[in-house]
Amino acid sequence: MSNESTAGPSGTESPQPHALIRGLTNDQRDLVSVSAILLVVVVVAALASGGTFLQPGNLVNVLQQNVVLFVLAIAQFIVVLTSGIDLSVGAVVALSSVLFVGYLDFGVLPALLIAVAGGALVGLVNGLMVVLIRLPSFVATLGAMQIVYSIAKLFTGGAALHASLGGAPIPDAVTGFYDRSVLALPYPTLVFVAVFIAALVYLRSSVGYFLYAIGSNDRAARFAGLPAGKLRVGAYVVASAITAIGGVLFAARVSYGDPQAGLWLPLDTIAAVSIGGASLTGGRGTILATVLGVLIIAILNNTMNLIGISPTLQPAIKGLIIILTVFLYSRRGS
């Protein structure tokens, strides 16, 4: 007798929970898994902090402090989907933050466009190195990271920019950006929602489906006639442009441009994508699961601060949790 079902109230057989899980797609299973992990993390955080974690002020603080990571994780996911890794995301944050602040003399919108264009240019170079020169993405973006950090430091003379290149102070529209809201939703959160929706539309389009195909089997995609090289370069450009938006958000949060910002952001974004169940070999994952992965990391960081764990130990604890989570994904199988 099969152990996959039991008799229901009417005498018909009803599937067991594990059978239902096996009936889901890979992406749906990943979403269920990361949601379960998030629920456990929230419960542990609430208990460990004595309820402090669940206070509205703290929850808002968690979201506000991690808006940049939310945006960057979406960018990293797009690259990972094509079987790549982008280690230059932190450097793009640094570059876009100094470009934005440096060119505020021209106005907020022109400075924003310049910053995003600078980020997109880095993505174009990354994509061309991967596609034309055939460098591994790890090597290409690692080299780009060092070069972009150097460019950002040369642009500012190595110091943070607290005013535009013309000497004008940073306007209130920028310094007060994190304090403003619409219908109780802070401006930074609205920016993240806009980026999330735009990325979702991008990946639900024919281009997005092609990226999944390229990440799953690049050779088969090429035999099918897909312009794999162009699509992959485009993904790097889109991802770096999104990262630049994160850099502008960073500048608005701290009220200056930092040529050394974002050193740890590449690792955090990769961790978020991994916890979200996306395959680092490409072709699998969802943006929503990646966002939930960011939430898990954000809650871990916040909880460790609330209960007073030493900053020296926090990276080790977070690293162990990330390794365990990804290990469990690998043991679960597809």
Residue 56: inside a domain, yes or no? yes
Q: How far apart are CA 146 and CA 59, in angstroms?
A: 35
Q: Give me the residues of the chain with pLDDT under 70, please.
A: 1-24, 330-334
Question: So what's the pLDDT on residue 328?
Answer: 73
- CA–CA dist 254, 98 (Å, integer): 12
Kindly tell me the burial class for residue 322, based on how many C-beta atoms sit within 10 Å of its own C-beta (0-12, 13-18, 19 or more): buried
Q: Tell whether 65 is covered by a domain.
A: yes
d(CA 23, CA 265) in angstroms, rounded, equals 36
Residue at 16 is within a domain? no
Contact 246/93 with Cβ under 8 angstroms?
A: yes
**216, 284 Cβ separation under 8 angstroms:** yes
What is the DSSP secondary structure assignment for residue 178, as one 8-state letter? G
Residue 169 phi, psi dihedral angles, 5° rounding: -70, 155
Question: Is residue 73 domain-resident?
Answer: yes
HEC-encoded secondary structure of 93-107: HHHHHHHHHHCHHHC
Tell me how crowded residue 45 is: count the other CB atoms within 10 A of its CB: 22
Write the pLDDT tens digit of every residue in 45-82.
Answer: 999 888 888 888 888 888 888 999 999 999 999 999 99
The DSSP element (H or E) to which 299 belongs, if any, is: helix 287-306
Task: Tell me, yes or no, whether 12 lies in a domain.
Answer: no
Q: Which domain holds residue 299?
A: 27-332
Give the chain's domain count. Answer: 1
Q: Tell me whether residue 305 is in a domain.
A: yes
| Residue 6 located in a structural domain | no
User: 127, 61, 122, 74: which is closest to 290 by C-alpha?
Assistant: 74
| Paired residues of 169 in beta bridges | 163
d(CA 44, CA 50): 10
pLDDT score at 145: 97
CATH (domain of 235): 1.10.3470
pLDDT at 324: 80
Residue 54 in any domain: the answer is yes
